[in-house]
Structure 1
């Protein structure tokens, strides 16, 4: 019979293995690259999604929505502009700020990100399909609890 310490390590290793596999899957998928093969990073794709959901938002609004500094958003926007995914336009109501919109390529990138999530959701659902509802509910609670505890650790 395995000791509690061995069991703890096995569960931890299994979880970390799943996290690592997901990270590699996310990095390697063709859905998170531009048409010319440039990598789209996690922070960039979520900024693209926020821009899509808030078409014509300004830099300060993006920073507020994402809970990051204006400087951090500005740096990401520079990268996205170089990749041809966003465009900045002067705000006609306030000439000192820019409104941010997705380019056609940015729109495609956003759509590919949605496809990525659909594919991953299907993969994950297939892994639990046929399992009793109680097991699936436990898994969901477990993952949410781990996420919550990790977020608390980060905020310390």
Structure 2
């Protein structure tokens, strides 16, 4: 059984890590483009890239957010030159969203950003005792369920 002081230290360290990550993640980044991109915008770019030929209503349904929220984000992305709206080839009354060259670049740089975190985590776990990965994974999975 873990001693109580160690549990408190883990709790404080985890909360501090979450706060640092949140602060870092909430900052705008350009992801290799000439415009700053918010967290919600880069994740919309990722969603559009990975779910082709969707219109605003379908995106809202799949993400479980309002059409208004999607429209606002889409309008910002369009003004920044990251996406375009094109007529759906099947249903000419619907506009589908596509990434521009700049949007593709932002997507690829965002993916690379995530890969850098994967490399950091792999290196940290590689320096730990065998079996630690499973304990950490199970702890984070359960903690994630709790919040």
Both structures adopt the same fold (TM-score exceeding 0.5)? yes
Shift of 1:117: 0.6
The residue correspondences of 1:45-124 to structure 2 (distance < 5 A) are: 45-124=42-121
Task: Report which stretch shifted further, 100-109 or 133-142.
Answer: 133-142
Task: Assess if the C-alpha contact under 8 Å between 1:51 and 1:100 holds in 2.
Answer: yes
- Name whichever structure is richer in strand by fraction: 1
**Structure 1 CA distance for aligned equivalents of residues 15 and 39 of structure 2:** 19
Residue 136 and residue 92 in structure 1: after superposition, are their counterparts in 2 closer, same or farther (change >3 A)?
closer
**Count of residue pairs the alignment pairs up:** 145
Q: RMSD in angstroms over aligned alpha carbons?
A: 2.2
Task: Assess if the C-alpha contact under 8 Å between 1:55 and 1:101 holds in 2.
Answer: yes
Q: What TM-score, normalized by structure 2, do the two folds share?
A: 0.85
Residue 149 and residue 142 in structure 1: after superposition, are their counterparts in 2 closer, same or farther (change >3 A)?
same
- Name whichever structure is richer in helix by fraction: 1
Consecutive unaligned residues of structure 2, counting only runs of 5 or more, are none
Matched, 1:125 2:97: no
Residue 74 of structure 1 aligns to a residue whose secondary structure is helix
The aligned counterpart of 1:16 is: 15
Q: What TM-score, normalized by structure 1, do the two folds share?
A: 0.81
